[in-house]
Amino acid sequence: MQFENPATTNPIDQLKVIGKPIHRIDGELKTTGRAMYAYEWHDPNLRYAYGYPVGSAIAKGQVTSIDSAAAKKAPGILGVVTTLDVGDLQKGKLNTAKLFGGSEIQHYHQAVAVVVAETFEQARAAAALIMVDYAPEKGAFDLRVEMANAKTPDPSSEPDSSAGDFHKAFSAAAVTLDAEYTTPDQSHAMMEPHASIAAWNGDEVTVWTSSQMIDWWRSDFAITLGMDKEKVHLMSPFIGGGFGGKLFLRADPVLAAFAAKAVGRPVKVALPRPMISNNTTHRPATIQRIRIGAERDGKITAIAHESWSGDLPGGGPETAVMQTRLLYAGENRMTAMKLATLDLPEGNAMRAPGEAPGLMALEIAVDEMAEKLGMDPVEFRIKNDTQVDPENPDRPFSHRDLIGCLRRGAEKFGWDQRTNPATRREGNWMIGMGVAAAFRNNLVMPSGARVKLDQDGIVTVETDMTDIGTGSYTIIAQTAAEMMGVGVDKVAVQLGDSRFPVSAGSGGQFGANSATSGVYAACVKLREAIASKLGFNSADVKFENGEVKSGNRVVRLDEAAGEEGLVGEDTIEWGDLTKTHQQSTFGGHFVEVGVDVATGETRIRRMLAVCAAGRILNPITARSQVIGAMTMGAGGALFEELAVDTRHGFFVNHDLAGYEVPVHADIPHQEVIFMDEIDPYSSPMKAKGVGELGLCGVSAAIANATYNATGIRVRNYPITLDKLIGELPNVA
């Protein structure tokens, strides 16, 4: 199905199932431990062997030799495969750093060997006996130092934009801000480690893995292994979180495949937690410069956002400036990105890439500007709202209700209770409130599905879509139920299998809207098949209560299916609506914090997000996405930072004791409000993405609240107490 024109009324608008607060249909499997994650697959007829990876001890250079003699004599050992044994491998199309093979080391903890044994413990013990010799080379590890050598990246990332004459307008502006902000490297820190099982059958391989994008992984796996994609069968029905860390093929399936081939048995490989932050990808650090010029009445006349980030050769920039092209009005504007070469692990997408760190900076800058203007930061944002793409005023937003989010949030949160900076105290706590706009583009991706109806009236959806904890199973079941006129109890959903039609996958907050639209398209086909089999005129057919109706004829779905059943399959594809109309999602984040006047510890007291993201397909799963994202933003604001050893080129705090993510005590109270809206330009579902929106801007709202509490402006994340302590009031 080609989605070319705004959606008109369709069966989804019945809202009998869609939009209802339905609990996860896979919830019981998960709470009872029956949902099988990659490492847990167990076929009693197979004798699994265990592979344990060895990571490089240097960040850059060559492996000169690997001595596995001692490991090969260890108890239970079945085999050792080293990076030198397999030689140079073709790199996956979407990988920047190579995953395995050859002598070149591009980053710390790059996989250099996999050791296979009868048990996990034996493999781990033998792995410690592998002796690797390196010829280390000097690398570049410090973004601040490399900033001077940074270059404009490849044009595909749209590194530069401009409209009007920024420099002239900025120098003429009555009130100006010019400030630098930094965001650190961050780790996805998902719960389930990267893990795979590979089992060969002749020249075909089946891989159970933890992947957000089945088809991307399948293609890049085939390229890396030098085999035919058709001979790769990939399964990833349950995923314990990804946040972008599982978007692109990782080392574990590659190691498992080589290991399984070497020992002639299926092999399980999981990345040990201390290896994950340096072996896989991370959100790259940024240095950002923002300049804003405004008239005294608060109207922005000039806005510029520049960002520097680094990556391995061949990598891309963190696109931290993108939202600044669209979020606020202003006739004169420019954005620019510069990319430095860094020999740290590969920088790549992490939840809301670009917008998350970009808004961390921009939304502090906007707060600072409002203060300079003597304006309320909510009013300042509202004053500079735009209903069109500011670089291209002929291009409207499909639907934009930032103002609604901010007004509703301000009222609900009691924003009018906010006091001047550093004036509100409760005992030892300095209390402050902060606000920030949330903004994230609504991306769409082609997405396919197959929907079957059987003689029991059961509707089965098959698609390679993934559920990374987001609720894909549930909203897909709701979509099929709504389309076919049944309850979710009559729908079975099968996901994450490369034998199923290729879907959007989970990423960029495009999953929910794109994948359900694909299911919608497949259901349209199935409805047509049913109507045509029954000889109904498809224009007036109704699917309700497990029945198909046309005129005064009524047939039960199970009867309609008959013994042979019926199938509909289709892929949603997208026309020009994303070009003619800017499609984005919006929100307002409101946060209250307390800062301990003695120690400078910042603790969140309450958070509110108001989101405008089209139709909300399921308020329970959508809310979970938003509160999870707000929690992630709390970590990003207050403590998450991969600490770089700039001498040796690695992230030092590479476990969950060193890389602190929020715990329950950090998040006392969260509230989420969804604006009641639909966006017919986005898809037949009239929904948009919401999985990343909740992260966008929230860290800045926390930063602004900390400023309001203390009067101390911290522009370098995370806002840890050492950055406040020198300016806190005297307590001795």
CB nearer another protein, residue 539 or residue 657: 657
Place of tokens 């900033």: 147
Whole-number minimum distance, CB 253 to another protein, in Å?
24
Distance CA 77, CA 97 (A): 29
Tell me the CA distances in angstroms from 715 to 700, 712, 720, one per residue in order: 10, 10, 11
Q: Which residues contact 456 (CB under 8 A, 6 or more apart)?
A: 558
Other Cβ atoms within 10 Å of 379 Cβ, number: 14
User: Can 192 be counted among the known catalytic residues?
Assistant: no
CB nearer another protein, residue 125 or residue 572: 125
Distance CA 308, CA 366 (A): 20
Whole-number minimum distance, CB 596 to another protein, in Å?
8
Whole-number minimum distance, CB 601 to another protein, in Å?
6
Three-state DSSP state, 242 = coil
Contact call for residues 178 and 293 (beta carbons, < 8 A): no
Contact call for residues 283 and 357 (beta carbons, < 8 A): yes
Three-state DSSP state, 574 = strand
Distance CA 74, CA 77 (A): 6
| CB burial string 31-40: b at 16+ within 10 A, e below | eeeebebbbe
CB nearer another protein, residue 137 or residue 456: 137
CB nearer another protein, residue 128 or residue 135: 128
Distance CA 172, CA 292 (A): 11
231 secondary structure, DSSP code: G
Other Cβ atoms within 10 Å of 421 Cβ, number: 16
CB nearer another protein, residue 112 or residue 461: 112
CB nearer another protein, residue 68 or residue 516: 68
Distance CA 337, CA 503 (A): 31
Other Cβ atoms within 10 Å of 473 Cβ, number: 28
CB nearer another protein, residue 185 or residue 464: 185
Residues in the chain: 732
Whole-number minimum distance, CB 68 to another protein, in Å?
17
Q: Where are the alpha helices (DSSP H) in 186-266?
A: 214-225, 251-263
Query: Concatenated DSSP letters for 293-351?
Result: EE-TTS-EEEEEEEEEEEESTT-----TTGGGGTSS--SEEEEEEEEEE--SSPB---S
Phi, psi of 198 (to 5 degrees): -120, 135
CB nearer another protein, residue 410 or residue 724: 724
Provide the pairing of β-strand 61-67 with 104-105.
antiparallel
Tell me the CA distances in angstroms from 644 to 43, 110, 148, 201, 356, one per residue in order: 42, 16, 19, 43, 20
Whole-number minimum distance, CB 189 to another protein, in Å?
13
**Closest to 200 (Cα-Cα) out of 249, 258, 255:** 258
Distance CA 589, CA 540 (A): 45
Place of tokens 């490849």: 154
Whole-number minimum distance, CB 129 to another protein, in Å?
10
CB nearer another protein, residue 421 or residue 658: 658
**Closest to 186 (Cα-Cα) out of 593, 599, 651:** 651
Q: Which residues contact 687 (CB under 8 A, 6 or more apart)?
A: 512, 513, 516, 613, 614, 615, 616, 617, 678, 679
Three-state DSSP state, 399 = coil
Whole-number minimum distance, CB 61 to another protein, in Å?
13
CB nearer another protein, residue 430 or residue 566: 430
| Catalytic entry in 40, 346, 692, 727 | 692
Whole-number minimum distance, CB 301 to another protein, in Å?
40
CB nearer another protein, residue 617 or residue 634: 634
Find residue 161's DSSP bridge partners.
Answer: 335
Whole-number minimum distance, CB 597 to another protein, in Å?
8
CB nearer another protein, residue 13 or residue 601: 601
Other Cβ atoms within 10 Å of 295 Cβ, number: 13
Whole-number minimum distance, CB 653 to another protein, in Å?
5
Distance CA 475, CA 447 (A): 15
Whole-number minimum distance, CB 360 to another protein, in Å?
17
Distance CA 18, CA 715 (A): 42
Whole-number minimum distance, CB 493 to another protein, in Å?
34
| Reduced DSSP (H G I as helix, E B as strand, rest coil) percent helix, strand, coil of the chain, to 5 | 30, 25, 40
Contact call for residues 142 and 285 (beta carbons, < 8 A): no
* Chain residues in the site for another protein (CB under 8 A): 57, 75, 121, 124-125, 128, 274, 428, 596, 598-601, 603, 638-639, 643-645, 647-648, 652-655, 657-658, 660, 662-666, 718, 720-722, 725-726, 728, 731-732
Provide the pairing of β-strand 429-441 with 425-426.
antiparallel
Whole-number minimum distance, CB 513 to another protein, in Å?
34
Q: Catalytic site residues?
A: 692
